[in-house]
Amino acid sequence: MSTFVTTAPLASPVLNKLSTITPIVLTIAGSDSGGGAGIQADIKAISATGGYACSVITALTAQNTQGVTGIYSISSEFVEQQLDAVFSDLNVIAVKVGMLSDSDVIHSVAKKIKQYSPQYVVVDPVMVATSGDLLLQASAIDSLKSELLPLADVITPNLPEASALISVKVPKTEDEMTAIIGELRQLGAKSVLLKGGHLEKDENSTDLLILSDSIERLSTPRIETRNTHGTGCTLSSAIASYLAQGHKLQAAVTLGKHYITQAIIHADELNVGQGHGPVNHFFALHTQE
């Protein structure tokens, strides 16, 4: 197992592009009315890391830093209409998929990804909000596993999500994370970024990038803050943004890990809400002054 400590500098949105093609990233996810997660976090992260963000909304949530009080699902027909509108006009290089509320929407998204064949697909299997609220119907998990995950270049489950996907107990240690690698590979995605942020007793936050024939360990010091709303959305969107800019998978993941780490480090500079506040997506606007 290789170990990488993510100390790479944040890529400049202008100077570090690897191509002159506009790095268009489509986020397919739900809306967070509080602005900290979902589509709103995705657009912020993609923009802050140098990509051009477009979006397809799959659900509306009544949500703030304290929890989710309502979910209104968008019909699969209208999700498809949005997807056709974006793909028929914009040169989408990478797609990030987040919250999908039911099996019909999952089927529609998978069908359109197959039809339009974007170069990269990042799937964040959103099931539970930071507050603990269920965001994915239990009946839809099988559809997610059979139809969408096999299309992904990388999936980014946290430990509770990985547990739900492969029906095991939530890992409590890094050794237990390592023990489920084989089962996660069987989900069919090209790679898996297993996020260890829930191992709160560890002094480091360690993720495992599980490739077909190797494992890379990405570790950063754990940051003490309650403002972690939208971390999963933000990380997966940053990875998609870096892929769209031409970075290889390992580099995109490393850059994404560095970006989310800095966004968490600077999260307490914001004063948003009374619960789990958002990370600071645009920290670089202030730290580079």
pLDDT at 19: 54
pLDDT at 209: 98
In the chain, pLDDT over 90 holds for what percent of residues?
80
Write the CATH number for 98: 3.40.1190.20
Choose among 177, 145, 141, 135: nearest CA to 158: 177
And the tokens for 228?
């972690």
The total domain count for the chain is 1
Of residues 27, 156, 231, 234, which has the active-site annotation? Answer: 231
In a domain, 215, yes or no: yes
Residues 205-221 pLDDT 10s: 899 999 999 999 999 99
**Sheet with 120-123: strands ordered across:** 2-5, 215-221, 204-210, 192-194, 154-155, 120-123, 92-97, 24-32, 52-64, 67-73
pLDDT: is 279 or 134 the higher one?
279
Res 132 pLDDT > 80: no
Other CB atoms within 10 Å distance of the CB of residue 168: 14
Q: State the pTM of this model.
A: 0.91
In the chain, pLDDT over 70 holds for what percent of residues?
89
Res 3 pLDDT > 80: no
pLDDT: is 39 or 197 the higher one?
39
Which residue matches tokens 């024939």?
A: 213
Identify whether 228 is a catalytic site residue. Answer: yes
- Beta bridge partners of residue 221, listed in sequence order: 204
In a domain, 14, yes or no: no
Q: What is the mean pLDDT of residues 148-157?
A: 98
In a domain, 13, yes or no: no
Res 261 pLDDT > 80: yes
Residues 14-23 pLDDT 10s: 445 455 789 9
In a domain, 8, yes or no: no
Domain that holds residue 249: 21-287
Can you say how many angstroms the Cα of residue 173 is from the centroid of all Cα atoms in its chain? 22
Identify whether 195 is a catalytic site residue. Answer: yes
In a domain, 195, yes or no: yes
Res 288 pLDDT > 80: no
Q: What is the mean pLDDT of residues 24-32?
A: 97
pLDDT at 286: 78
Of residues 34, 51, 61, 233, which has the active-site annotation? Answer: 233
In a domain, 2, yes or no: no
Of residues 17, 44, 112, 195, which has the active-site annotation? Answer: 195
Of residues 206, 228, 254, 261, which has the active-site annotation? Answer: 228
Helix (H, G, I), strand (E, B) or coil at 206: strand
pLDDT band with cut points at 50, 70 and 90 for residue 10: very low
In a domain, 216, yes or no: yes
Residues 61-110 pLDDT 10s: 999 999 889 989 999 999 999 999 999 999 999 999 999 989 999 999 99
pLDDT at 2: 55
Identify whether 233 is a catalytic site residue. Answer: yes
Spatial separation of the C-alpha atoms in residues 33 and 132, rounded to whole Å: 17
And the tokens for 152?
């992904």
